[in-house]
Chain A
């Protein structure tokens, strides 16, 4: 009974942590914020942006991971309680985008963390993020 309730609340109201992995251009961060604003309003699906990883269910990661930020990203990911879902948002988080071949970035978030959903685009449109969240929640159901 309790388990069903927890599962229901998890699907109906996923709390999101937005993490900038460092090596991005912050265009994706702005689009994530735009997705939460009145026009796209991601909050109507119960999605809420949280400041701390300890409250989050889903971690949306943008940007390629820089070497200096690598351990910190891992530490933040470990603080998210189980079950947790990773979303690689934007071309940098998926495969490095223009920063591929740089001496200070990793090629994609999935080299470091398990990823459940990828959002393509440089940067993606807010609608693409909403699509990713809906698909992720459907797979959790």
Chain B
């Protein structure tokens, strides 16, 4: 007999609001559907009301884990629009932060994978080691989560010799720990037994469903924006694209551990080859009318920002396609014919960042059935609402 089960939007296995609706046959999932929109904040509309420099702070707050990914993606897009060549030292520091962020994100994911597979001590271990990376990021930027490092033309803070030495010291510890995890992921029989064969996604399926990031690479497709379309200074840095052929959750864990090791090499290379000179150049305030499509390899996969400028100091349109959104169709395919007990594991394996992916313009009208709102209508609605705001009242809305 078939029956339906809904999971979320508030559920202990999901740390953010999303709703999964599944059709079950016994314990086997026959069909799954995702309901989004619980975390939609209207970032794209907000971006149109802010100047370019203010938008760096807004794009940083698209996501709390890959905050540097979104700012870098936005910043390098706007730099192209400005026809600005950023400082070389700035680009190196930007890449350094990006790789440190990848390390902290992957360590976080490994912990979550450990927790979802019932390996609590692994969860505690990786999160303890993650604090080492957060300390490094705090030394450089002054904050643990939102680093606010990017600006047009470079970065906002320099890295000095003492910091360099401290980072290299901490890296030694992280390398040792990561080797231990690689060993563990490959040889601990309970861990391997829980992850192997779960959430199968064949190579062809991964390509057809446009999966990105470690999900795609674990299906044996060596695709990485850092290699395919190098941005910043990735064309000068030697590194390998990590892949796995097992097409399951174990493969995704192995890919991430391998990427950790590659990231350590990249960080070492950057610190040893940091060019001298200024870390930022002056950027113009206004941007010529143009449009740009910026790509970036975030820890979760390819992140895309589309920016259109109209000659003023505010963007006319910002479109964000976060990697999690690209991985949703693949998740549905992975869930199908899986067991109900594997849902948290499969869902966690794409490293979902739900608030990243909430870019919707489709609204459901309760009275007239479902309908799609055009962007112009949405804008008219937003303008209508903005007119109604009583600015004399305290605490109602931000005085733009």
Q: Is the A/B pair a real complex?
A: yes
Which residues on A are within 8 Å of B, measured CB to CB?
18-31, 33-34, 37-39, 51-52, 63-64, 66, 68-69, 72, 76, 95-105, 107-108, 122-123, 125
Q: Assess the B41–A26 pair: CB atoms within 8 A.
A: no
Q: Do A23 and B128 form a contact, CB below 8 Å, given A30-B65, A72-B9, A97-B61?
A: no
Q: How many B residues face the partner with a CB closer than 8 A?
A: 47
Chain B residues within an 8 Å CB radius of A26: 15-16, 63-65, 353-355
Q: Assess the B65–A72 pair: CB atoms within 8 A.
A: no
Q: Assess the A20–B42 pair: CB atoms within 8 A.
A: no
Least CB distance from A9 to B in Å reads 23
The DSSP consensus for interface residues of chain B is loop
Kindly identify which residue among B58, B67, B124, B130 contacts A27, using a CB–CB cutoff of 8 Å: B67
In the bound complex, what is the Cα–Cα distance between A51 and B395 (angstroms)? 33
Q: Assess the A22–B39 pair: CB atoms within 8 A.
A: yes
Kindly identify which residue among A33, A64, A125 contacts B127, using a CB–CB cutoff of 8 Å: A33
Chain A residues within an 8 Å CB radius of B65: 26-27, 30
B146 in the interface (beta carbon within 8 A) = yes
> For window 344-400 of chain B, which residues contact chain A by CB distance below 8 Å?
353-355, 381-382, 385-386, 395-398, 400
Q: Assess the B67–A34 pair: CB atoms within 8 A.
A: no
Q: Assess the A27–B146 pair: CB atoms within 8 A.
A: yes
| Contacts A20-B39, A103-B381 known; 12 new A-B pairs at CB < 8 A | A23-B355, A25-B62, A27-B64, A29-B16, A30-B64, A34-B131, A39-B128, A52-B12, A102-B43, A103-B42, A104-B41, A123-B145
Chain B residues within an 8 Å CB radius of A122: 61, 146
Q: Assess the B396–A23 pair: CB atoms within 8 A.
A: no
Q: Assess the A25–B61 pair: CB atoms within 8 A.
A: yes
Chain B residues within an 8 Å CB radius of A101: 46, 49, 386, 397-398, 400
> For window 24-48 of chain B, which residues contact chain A by CB distance below 8 Å?
37-43, 45-46
In the bound complex, what is the Cα–Cα distance between A23 and B40 (angstroms)? 7
Least CB distance from A6 to B in Å reads 25
Kindly name the residue among A21, A27, A29 whose own CB sees the greatest number of chain B CB atoms within 10 A. Answer: A27
Q: Do A102 and B64 form a contact, CB below 8 Å, given A20-B16, A51-B12?
A: no
